[in-house]
Structure 1
Amino acid sequence: MSTLTGLFSRGPSFYLRVVLPLDHPGRSRYRSGRVVLSLGACSRREAISKGIMLRAEVLRGELPPTASAGHPTATGQLLPLPAASGNYATTLPPTAPPPAYLREVFGKWTEAKSRNKDTVAACKRALALFEQQTGNPPLAALSRAHGVEFRAWLQHPDRGTTTKTAHDRMTWVKSLLKFAHVDLELIHRQPWEGLDIDSSTTHRRRPWSTEELQTLLNAPLHAQYALPADIKSGGAAAYWVPLLGMFSGARISELIQLRRRDIELINGTLVLNITDDGDDLRLKTSAAVRKVPVHSELIRLGFGDYVNGIASPDLSMWPDVPRRDGKTGGYFSHWFGLHRRALGLGRYPDFHCFRHTVRSALANGEVAETLIDALLGHEAKGSTGARVYTHRALADLRTAIEKIEYPGVTASVAYLRHLLL
């Protein structure tokens, strides 16, 4: 059933609350900034129909006649009767609603649409900090000064948070205030609009070095196909996904959601079909939809044999990888971080650094920038025509992908030896 913002009921009667824009001529008459209109005792469907018409009239400046001598009632609210004649009569307004608080807004925000657990948890943490620092005033009493103080508090050195973390927390609270203003009409404006925190990345991602890649490949996992026991590693995914990242530059989420049907043989070339064509498939941008030829080094290591071992085209390439709500590669990414640290590698390079590694290798191979963007799933630069109509031939992409070379880095054919055992 259709809904109408501001519609509410008291017993059998329906009412419509309209928040006047700041530049509305009726602001001088209705100091509260709100007009409450009685729609009478009627069905919800009829109330919505009447409410839409009355709301449009009010926003056009066609306010109902007032109680006496052109003055509003004491509360600044007037209730028109729903008679077809359009005559209005004054009535006592409904009881003023209790003060609204940001936590109530958070509850409605979580119910407004499907949100993953990490998103809700991050917003909830920011809300708790808001309540701690501000003392949790009602929304009607929340001022811009509160926002300035909260922003300074988030960035105080004693808190020990990065500028990005402070920025994210400020943004979550502002999102709730915007929701309270735009969607719920609980406040006349978003008082913290424009209050931002400049953030900077604490660590800049970089390519993997030759030594770091060799450290990774010399570990028992890749040297002996010794799959880890940790369930988050996803069995065979622990072996193949880092290698695919190293020789394709694909994002971890793109690789984890691959199905058997997404590995195609086209004109003799094995290809990763990175797509969002599926109910559970998600890509970062539309430009991320692409086909990436499988590097010959992966074929040498036995990737084609692994693919052929998966019986059904509908099966995941990594059936043992646990799925995390809202983040396809969440659990695997966590495991890879632990694995990397166990090898003596620091916070960086991480998995995403494979994208930087591949870009550098392609650039060193003098691959054109447009081809690099096509392989990595970046938005093409240049004119609109170049972005929309440029399609790269598979042969060009295959030639480009073979430019990825890592001198001084060797990988064992551990998977093939495993098949022979």
Structure 2
Amino acid sequence: MANTNGIFQRGSSHYLRVVLPINHELQKQYKSGKIILSLGSCSYREAVTLGTIKRAEILGLIAPAQKTTAEQAPTKRTPTAYYLRDIYQRWKESKPRSSDAINSCMRALILFEEQTKNPILQELTRAQGDSFRAWLQQPERNTTSKTARDRLTWVKSLLKYAYRDLEIINRHPWEGIEIHSQTTQKRRPWDVSELNKLFSNELFTSYQLPKDWRCGGDAAYWLPILAIFTGARLSELAQLKPSDIALDCEIPTISISNAGAGQQVKTEAAIRKIPIHSEVIRLGFLNYVQKTVMANDTQLWSKLKFRKNKPGGNYSNWFGEFRKELELPQGLDFHSFRHGVRSQLAENDVPEPTIDAIMGHEIKGSTGAKIYSHRTTSSIKAAIELIKYRDLRLPNELCKLNL
């Protein structure tokens, strides 16, 4: 909402709204009778000063300030000049965005403004992109190559949006400018001894659920078990609803999608159905699901609280501490379960397109392989049943734990 001086804020940037007099010469150019300009400032006090001057110039109360030769490059918005922060505002409002995406993009934008001195987009050069890339990777910045790459990618995404969606610039000035990142910590699958150490805890042997609220009650028990037999991501499992589990069919399945309230997937390829492994059924998972249905629970894990739109955020923090308490290696995390599933499927010569269908990856290979994406539930079930952990001692089914 604008103040009486016409200054208002979108995100962290301030804008000026000027209502034109009826006979003003700019009425033909601005049919709405209003001009809205970015002041390019995060400070309200500075925005008031800039806005007062700009309003007076527009209304003809003062002459536009004359610039010296050193000041010829535009530093404030004109009707045809756009800054990257303007594009960020349009990008943010174009469709629902996660808070993580908005914050990550803003951090990259602030770095862009700091290093490039915030030129108008029409004057942005490839040389500036190369300079920004080098600056992000300077040793004194103490950032990983992946972090530097991500920040460059966010800026390039805004430039692409300005070029393709808004047509504000007639080319993508930084297209092809890349940072090749190196993985600083490579994940590996859990080995059987590590899995036995995990599943020998009383949480699994006697269903002693932790008191820590972050573990989500029953989720503490079921999520690792589901992970080692589905290869699903933590966020996918954490957001499940009772209706996502197909009980009344020959082959029970878990449906992963973005159809329900609060549900999201990483990519379109992540939308899939995963047949439930016989070992998961043996442990009583279908009985647990039936119990949540009868209780009219809207979430499969009624006590699992989401964190900033991240279904598995709180659980991930708890699991990391739980792993440390068990003195398991630091290189292992929940996502390592996923690596183990893919490794097992590959070692059992499961075709790559079927593995991708199970894991929720984009199908690779020839055009024919991508088009012929239909796989029967029974064929995927056969692949799922190849997941076996020799010498792994899993707990008894829940009914034998007298729960």
Report deviation, 1:357.
0.8
Aligned residue in 1 for 2:14: none
Deviations 1:207-263 (A, max 9, x none): 221122122212232233222233221111111011101011112222122111221
Aligned residue in 2 for 1:398: 381
Decide which of 265, 270, 275 is 1:293's aligned counterpart: 275
Distance, in Å, in 1 between the alignment partners of 2:156 and 2:364 is 33
Stretches of structure 2 lacking an aligned partner (at least 5 in a row): 1-17, 34-62, 66-73, 78-82
Aligned residue in 2 for 1:205: 187
Report deviation, 1:160.
2.0
Q: Secondary structure at the match of 1:292?
A: strand
User: Match for 1:161: what amino acid?
Assistant: T
CA contact (8 A) 1:13 1:40 kept: no
Aligned residue in 2 for 1:332: 315
Q: TM-score, normalised by structure 2?
A: 0.73
Distance, in Å, in 2 between the alignment partners of 1:179 and 1:385 is 32
Distance, in Å, in 1 between the alignment partners of 2:365 and 2:156 is 35
Aligned residue in 1 for 2:139: 157
Deviations 1:82-130 (A, max 9, x none): xxxxxxxxxxxx9799714544544444334322111111122223333
Q: Secondary structure at the match of 1:398?
A: helix
Q: Percent identity?
A: 48
Report deviation, 1:163.
0.8
Distance, in Å, in 2 between the alignment partners of 1:40 and 1:131 is 30
CA contact (8 A) 2:353 2:369 kept: no
Stretches of structure 1 lacking an aligned partner (at least 5 in a row): 1-7, 16-36, 45-93
Q: Secondary structure at the match of 2:28?
A: strand
CA contact (8 A) 2:247 2:286 kept: no
Deviations 1:52-94 (A, max 9, x none): xxxxxxxxxxxxxxxxxxxxxxxxxxxxxxxxxxxxxxxxxx9
Q: Say yes or no: does 1:374 pair with 2:393.
A: no
Q: Secondary structure at the match of 2:390?
A: coil
After superposition, residues 116-265 of structure 1 pair within 5 angstroms as 116-136=98-118, 142-179=124-161, 190-265=172-247
Report deviation, 1:361.
1.9
Q: Secondary structure at the match of 1:372?
A: helix
CA contact (8 A) 1:260 1:315 kept: yes
Return closer, same or farther for 1:216/1:199 CA change in 2, 3 Å cut-off: same
After superposition, residues 51-66 of structure 1 pair within 5 angstroms as none
Return closer, same or farther for 1:287/1:39 CA change in 2, 3 Å cut-off: same
Aligned residue in 2 for 1:80: none
Return closer, same or farther for 1:410/1:12 CA change in 2, 3 Å cut-off: farther
CA RMSD of aligned residues (A): 3.6
User: Match for 1:170: what amino acid?
Assistant: L
Deviations 1:301-346 (A, max 9, x none): 2212211211256621111111234433233233323322332234
CA contact (8 A) 1:207 1:354 kept: yes
Deviations 1:32-55 (A, max 9, x none): xxxxx97379667xxxxxxxxxxx
Distance, in Å, in 1 between the alignment partners of 2:24 and 2:318 is 55
| Bigger Cα displacement from structure 2, 126-135 vs 206-215 | 126-135
Distance, in Å, in 2 between the alignment partners of 1:399 and 1:40 is 66
How many residue pairs are counted as aligned between the two chains? 347
Report deviation, 1:359.
1.9
Deviations 1:279-311 (A, max 9, x none): 433223333333222212212222122112112
CA contact (8 A) 1:275 1:283 kept: yes
Aligned residue in 2 for 1:110: 92
Aligned residue in 2 for 1:11: 21
User: Match for 1:246: what amino acid?
Assistant: I
CA contact (8 A) 1:222 1:414 kept: no
Decide which of 390, 396, 399 is 1:407's aligned counterpart: 390
Distance, in Å, in 2 between the alignment partners of 1:267 and 1:186 is 53
Distance, in Å, in 1 between the alignment partners of 2:149 and 2:235 is 25
| Bigger Cα displacement from structure 2, 256-265 vs 375-384 | 375-384
Q: Which has the larger radius of gyration?
A: 1
Return closer, same or farther for 1:346/1:11 CA change in 2, 3 Å cut-off: farther
CA contact (8 A) 1:262 1:272 kept: yes
